[in-house]
């Protein structure tokens, strides 16, 4: 196994070890044993920065399903390195933070770290996989592990609700994305991203190009909480705060961003891609900012702010895709700035939003609430936490000297340039692009101020708090402090990232324009339009914040009762009720009804196929002559079968059923199949013996008064099944499309398997897996029967059955 594959699989391997460690490390928090995993991985990726910066990539492949061109190919370039650093860097801080946040005495922290490690490995698999099918497998694993993390406090109804909503929406998008990947394979003949890019001319001209694009974007939009699929993210905030800081600010929600960036070399430059990615991004930016202002829960505000920021990054990727349309030249260099802004803000968002989620967790942990209506006046009681919140919120609001200011200015530059495009019919609505961006930035400023000032300033309300506030322990403060420090460092020295991280990532996103990239980020560009837009954001933002109570009533009108959450709930309820009604319509509890459904379907489908394929052609049938033995056995078999329904006694019915089976045994004998005859005889003997053993418990045969339709339905089904089975047997005999395989078995039984008994060789060697699975089925059935025999049903209460009363909690008399 290569080193890069080991990096992906290390979290999974450790996830297996964590439950074992938990049994032997009662005195120490499990997180201390988990922490070295992301730290080790982070160290590995930090050592690869210089290599990737020089334009080299690391590629390692393990064959998986060569016949379908599916290989576990790990590929490390600028884009995957950027995301890997986020996954492992933020992951290291989150694990450290969780050690102090999660109680080892009150919570099943071993389960928490198992889920967290699985998610970490799945995210690394997503960003490091070159094969689309492998990427999809890890993609869905992120949905599954995030479901487990969101529902970690499964005792809470809202946790279960949020986990289910997130999984349903993201898995739905994942299925759509898989369909898009399959269409890409049909167009290019490969699941490798790099090989598809190499066949770009063939792919872009194909009729399936747009459908593939739409399906892929559906997967990306659901994962990255783009409008209208954003509704799962606020409900996912029911997860523990370390989960929110990791999944919903830095990693999982960025998976859709990664997918759009990774597949930009394939789809960028197309008008549909440009409008969908940038359009949905701008709408998400605006709606997320607007919705965040009305929230009263700190994590809810951060959830909608995350939606807003993800829309900003998505819109930049869409606007930057216009650079591919122009190719090399001055115009393409203008629009590559949008890609630069997207990558830079991706990093910035991970730093300030990760810090803010941790700050929200600290406030909740130390006060017992996240409701800003109950908070206030915490600045003097929690000065360090206040400082960290101030840095994070001011960066998110786009204020200097923090990194968010730089990427926000670059965002303004991108939308202003995009409004001047003379392609894709942008000139028709292009003026709205900077307007929407500016209005959303104002609302971003407002909710940023709400977070910090509503929480830490104003009147202190101790009577509304569950705990007496105090500063968090050092272990909880250190991770957000590291992120807040990076916010300042990247703001003052942005070019630390320009050449080492941003440029290699841009080369990965737009490889055809690699020579165009010259990234240089600076604070001052003169008295530009972007600066005046920022001044306007601050001025109007301050005014709106100060008059918040006066204009917040607008939320009673928009959205009012209109809500995508209500639409989701109603759709899910309708689906559940419809499924229940449909199920109740055929799950009647009657075995006879079930058999009618099965056999009616059997008759209808197979009868139609036999008629459609015109297999009732027996003119040239080569049928063997019937011997007197076969005629006699057939007559006895038919007579015994017809006699069963008319039997008056149970013993007679058992004997007749056994006679039918033994006639089949004799047929195998005269047809020279002793192995089958022996097997059938054993099965029939066991069956008859079981009937006789249960003879006493069998119901008495009695003549039931049944209606004519009842009898007629039974007769039609019985005759129909018999006719269809007979027709299939004759059709198979007289319509062979291929030579019989029996000759091969006879010739190769000894040569290939070393056995003279052809039947045994077929069962054990040629069809060994089939036989093994049959044995497993029998074993499972045996265990089920044993469990049913050992089970003793009783109506006594559980406590009484175990010899204790309900008040006897200790289990002692």
Return the HEC string of 318-359: HHHCHHHHHCCCHHHHHHHHHHHHHHHHHHHHHHHHHHHHHH
Q: Residue 73's beta-bridge partner residues?
A: 61
Task: Give the pLDDT of residue 424.
Answer: 74
- The total number of residues shown for the chain amounts to 813
- 394 and 448 Cβ atoms separated by less than 8 Å: yes
Q: Among 283, 264, 282, which Cα is nearest to 343's?
A: 264
Q: Is the peptide bond before 546 cis (omega within 30 degrees of 0)?
A: no
Task: Give the pLDDT of residue 622.
Answer: 61
Q: Residue 71's beta-bridge partner residues?
A: 63
Task: Rank 169-173, 468-472, 633-637 by mean pLDDT and report only the highest.
Answer: 169-173
Task: Give the pLDDT of residue 766.
Answer: 83
Residue 382 predicted with pLDDT over 50: yes
Rg of the chain over all Cα atoms, to the nearest angstrom: 34
Task: Give the pLDDT of residue 811.
Answer: 35
Q: Is the peptide bond before 228 cis (omega within 30 degrees of 0)?
A: yes
Q: Give Cα separations from 32 to 43, 120, 259, 324, 472 (angstroms).
A: 17, 16, 33, 47, 19
Q: Look up tokens 């290939």; give the residue.
A: 752
Where in 394-448 does DSSP place strands (E)? none
Where in 5-57 does DSSP place strands (E)? none
Element spanning 74, H or E: strand 70-76
Task: Give the pLDDT of residue 195.
Answer: 92
Residue 721 predicted with pLDDT over 80: yes
Task: Give the pLDDT of residue 335.
Answer: 73
Task: Give the pLDDT of residue 618.
Answer: 57
CA torsion 349→350→356→360, rounded to 10°? 130
Q: Look up tokens 């609430």; give the residue.
A: 369
Provide, rounded to the nearest whole percent, the portion of the chain with pLDDT above 70.
Answer: 92
CB atoms within 10 A of CB 398: 26
* Neighbouring residues of 426: CB distance < 8 A, sequence distance ≥ 6: 418, 419, 433
Q: Give Cα separations from 356 to 159, 225, 360, 408 (angstroms).
A: 21, 19, 6, 18
**Mean pLDDT in residue range 357-379:** 92
CB atoms within 10 A of CB 631: 10
Greater model confidence, 539 or 66: 539
User: In the chain, where are the structural domains located?
Assistant: 588-737, 742-813
Task: Give the pLDDT of residue 20.
Answer: 83
Looking from the CA of 146 toward its CB, the CA atoms found within 13 Å total 32
Q: What DSSP line would sit under 170-225, residue for residue?
A: HHHHHHHHHHHHHHHHHHHS--BHHHHHHTHHHHHTSTTHHHHHHHHHHHHHHHTT
- CB-neighbour burial class of residue 528 (10 A; exposed 0-12, middle 13-18, buried 19+): middle
Please give the span between the terminal C-alpha atoms of the chain, in angstroms, as a whole number. 58
Architecture of the domain whose range is 588-737:
Up-down Bundle (1.20)
Task: Give the pLDDT of residue 96.
Answer: 95
DSSP tag of 615: -
Task: Give the pLDDT of residue 700.
Answer: 66
Lowest mean pLDDT among 177-181, 237-241, 366-370, 559-563: 559-563
Lowest mean pLDDT among 31-45, 91-105, 352-366, 624-638: 624-638
Greater model confidence, 788 or 436: 436
* Neighbouring residues of 276: CB distance < 8 A, sequence distance ≥ 6: 213, 214, 217, 318
Q: Among 127, 96, 128, which Cα is nearest to 113's?
A: 96
CB atoms within 10 A of CB 35: 20
Task: Give the pLDDT of residue 11.
Answer: 96
Confidence of residue 730 (pLDDT cuts 50, 70, 90): confident
What phi and psi values does residue 623 have, to the nearest 5 degrees? Answer: -100, 140
Q: Among 517, 569, 345, 537, which Cα is nearest to 435's?
A: 537
CB atoms within 10 A of CB 406: 24
In our burial notation (b when 16+ CB lie closer than 10 A, e otherwise), range 423-432 reads ebebeeebee
Confidence of residue 672 (pLDDT cuts 50, 70, 90): confident
Per residue in 300-344, pLDDT (tens digit) is 999 999 999 999 999 999 998 888 776 655 566 667 888 999 999
Q: What DSSP line would sit under 245-282, residue for residue?
A: HHHTTTSGGGHHHHHHHHTHHHHTT-HHHHHHHHHHHH
Residue 809 token pair? 């909690």
Task: Give the pLDDT of residue 143.
Answer: 94
Q: How many helices (H) and strands (E) does the chain have?
A: 38, 2
Q: What DSSP line would sit under 487-544, residue for residue?
A: HHHHHH-THHHIIIIIHHHHHHH-GGGGGG------S---S-HHHHHHHHHHHHHHHH
Where in 667-793 does DSSP place strands (E)? none
Per residue in 745-784, pLDDT (tens digit) is 888 888 888 888 887 888 788 878 888 888 899 889 889 8
Residue 257 predicted with pLDDT over 90: yes
Q: Give Cα separations from 666 to 72, 106, 492, 670, 733 (angstroms).
A: 55, 69, 93, 6, 22
Residue 694 predicted with pLDDT over 80: no
Q: Among 160, 124, 157, 161, which Cα is nearest to 142's?
A: 124
Q: Among 668, 672, 696, which Cα is nearest to 684's?
A: 668
- CB-neighbour burial class of residue 497 (10 A; exposed 0-12, middle 13-18, buried 19+): buried
Confidence of residue 802 (pLDDT cuts 50, 70, 90): very low
CA gap 811, 527 in Å, rounded: 78
CA gap 45, 58 in Å, rounded: 11
Residue 404 token pair? 């968010």
Per residue in 614-670, pLDDT (tens digit) is 776 655 556 677 788 888 999 999 899 888 878 877 788 888 988 999 999 998 998
- 85 and 42 Cβ atoms separated by less than 8 Å: yes
Task: Give the pLDDT of residue 698.
Answer: 66
Q: Look up tokens 């998400």; give the residue.
A: 284
Task: Give the pLDDT of residue 418.
Answer: 84
**Mean pLDDT in residue range 21-31:** 78
- CB-neighbour burial class of residue 621 (10 A; exposed 0-12, middle 13-18, buried 19+): exposed
CA gap 135, 75 in Å, rounded: 11
**Mean pLDDT in residue range 220-243:** 93
Q: Give Cα separations from 392 to 233, 291, 412, 493, 515 (angstroms).
A: 20, 20, 20, 17, 35
CA gap 253, 505 in Å, rounded: 18
**Mean pLDDT in residue range 275-287:** 95
Confidence of residue 705 (pLDDT cuts 50, 70, 90): low
The three-class DSSP label of residue 52 is helix
Task: Give the pLDDT of residue 337.
Answer: 84
What phi and psi values does residue 461 have, to the nearest 5 degrees? Answer: -120, 75
- CB-neighbour burial class of residue 608 (10 A; exposed 0-12, middle 13-18, buried 19+): exposed
The three-class DSSP label of residue 70 is strand
Per residue in 484-502, pLDDT (tens digit) is 999 999 999 998 998 899 9
Please state the pTM of the whole predicted model.
Answer: 0.80
CA gap 564, 732 in Å, rounded: 56
Task: Give the pLDDT of residue 754.
Answer: 82
Provide, rounded to the nearest whole percent, the portion of the chain with pLDDT above 90.
Answer: 55
CA gap 490, 400 in Å, rounded: 11
**Mean pLDDT in residue range 472-489:** 94
Q: What is the mean pLDDT of the chain?
A: 87
Cα angle: 576, vertex 579, 583; to 5 degrees:
140
CA gap 473, 478 in Å, rounded: 9
């Amino acid at each position: 196994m290569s080193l890069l594959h080991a990096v992906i699989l290390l979290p999974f391997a450790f996830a297996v070890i964590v439950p074992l460690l938990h049994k032997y490390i009662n005195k120490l928090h499990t997180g201390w044993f988990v922490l070295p995993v992301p730290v080790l991985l982070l160290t590995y990726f930090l050592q690869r920065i210089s290599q990737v910066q020089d334009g080299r990539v690391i590629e390692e492949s393990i064959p998986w399903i060569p016949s379908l061109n599916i290989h576990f190919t790990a590929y490390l370039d600028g884009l995957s390195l950027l995301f890997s650093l986020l996954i492992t860097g933020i992951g290291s801080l989150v694990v450290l933070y969780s050690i102090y946040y999660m109680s080892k005495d009150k919570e099943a922290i071993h389960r928490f770290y198992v889920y967290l490690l699985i998610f970490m490995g799945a995210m690394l698999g997503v960003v490091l996989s070159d094969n689309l099918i492998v990427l999809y497998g890890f993609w869905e694993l992120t949905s599954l592990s995030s479901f487990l993390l969101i529902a970690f406090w499964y005792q809470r109804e809202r946790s279960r609700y949020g986990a289910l909503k997130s999984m349903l929406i993201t898995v739905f998008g994942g299925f759509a994305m898989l369909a898009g990947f399959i269409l890409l394979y049909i167009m290019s003949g490969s699941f490798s991203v790099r090989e598809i890019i190499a066949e770009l001319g063939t792919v872009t001209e194909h009729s399936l190009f747009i459908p593939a694009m739409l399906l892929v974007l559906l997967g990306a939009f659901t994962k990255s909480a783009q409008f209208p699929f954003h509704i799962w993210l606020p409900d996912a905030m029911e997860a523990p705060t370390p989960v929110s800081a990791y999944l919903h600010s830095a990693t999982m929600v960025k998976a859709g961003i990664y997918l759009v960036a990774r597949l930009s070399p394939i789809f960028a430059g197309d008008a549909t891609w440009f409008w969908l990615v940038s359009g949905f991004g701008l709408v998400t930016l605006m709606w997320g900012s607007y919705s965040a202002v009305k929230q009263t829960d700190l994590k809810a505000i951060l959830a909608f702010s995350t939606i807003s920021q993800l829309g900003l990054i998505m819109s930049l990727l869409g606007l930057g895709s216009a650079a591919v349309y122009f190719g090399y030249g001055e115009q393409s260099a203008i629009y590559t700035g949008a890609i630069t802004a997207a990558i830079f803000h991706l990093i910035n968002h991970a730093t300030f939003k990760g810090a803010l989620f941790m700050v929200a967790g600290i406030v909740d942990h130390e006060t017992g609430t996240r409701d800003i209506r109950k908070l206030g006046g915490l600045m003097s009681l929690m000065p360090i936490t206040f400082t960290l919140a101030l840095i994070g919120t001011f960066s998110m609001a786009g204020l200097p000297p923090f990194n968010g200011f730089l990427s926000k200015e670059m965002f303004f530059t991108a939308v202003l340039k995009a409004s001047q495009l003379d392609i894709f019919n942008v000139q028709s609505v292009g003026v709205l692009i900077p307007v929407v961006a500016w209005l959303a930035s104002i609302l971003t400023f407002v909710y940023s101020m709400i977070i910090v000032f509503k929480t830490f300033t104003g009147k202190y309300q101790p009577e509304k708090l569950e705990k007496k506030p105090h500063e968090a322990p050092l272990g909880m403060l250190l991770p957000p402090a590291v992120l807040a420090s990076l916010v300042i460092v990247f703001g003052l020295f942005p070019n630390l990232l320009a050449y080492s991280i941003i440029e290699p990532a841009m080369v990965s996103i737009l490889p055809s324009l690699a020579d165009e990239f010259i990234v240089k980020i600076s604070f001052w560009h003169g008295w530009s339009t972007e600066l005046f837009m920022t001044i306007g954001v601050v001025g109007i933002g301050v005014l709106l914040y100060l008059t918040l109570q006066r204009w917040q009533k607008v939320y009673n009108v928009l959205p009012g009762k209109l809500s995508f959450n209500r639409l989701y709930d109603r759709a899910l309820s309708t689906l559940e009720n419809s499924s229940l009604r449909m199920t109740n319509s055929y799950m009647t509890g009657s075995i006879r009804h079930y058999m009618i459904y099965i056999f009616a379907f059997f008759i209808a489908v197979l009868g139609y196929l036999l008629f459609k394929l015109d297999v009732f052609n027996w003119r040239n049938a080569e049928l063997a002559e019937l011997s007197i033995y076969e005629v006699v056995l057939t007559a006895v078999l038919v007579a015994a079968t017809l006699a069963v329904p008319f039997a008056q006694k149970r013993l007679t019915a058992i004997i007749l059923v056994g006679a039918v089976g033994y006639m089949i045994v004799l047929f195998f004998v005269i047809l020279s199949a002793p192995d089958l005859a022996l097997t059938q005889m054993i099965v029939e003997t066991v069956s008859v013996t079981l009937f006789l053993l249960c003879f006493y418990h069998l119901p008495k045969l009695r003549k039931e008064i049944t209606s004519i339709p009842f009898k007629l339905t039974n007769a039609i089904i019985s005759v129909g099944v018999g006719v269809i089975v007979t027709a299939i047997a004759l059709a198979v005999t007289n319509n062979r499309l291929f030579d019989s395989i029996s000759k091969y078995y006879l010739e190769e039984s000894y040569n290939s398997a070393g056995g003279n008994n052809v039947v045994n060789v077929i069962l054990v060697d040629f069809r060994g897996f089939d036989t093994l699975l049959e044995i497993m089925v029998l074993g499972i059935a045996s265990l089920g029967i044993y469990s049913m025999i050992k089970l003793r049903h009783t109506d006594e209460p559980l406590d009484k059955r175990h010899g204790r009363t309900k008040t006897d909690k200790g289990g002692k008399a």
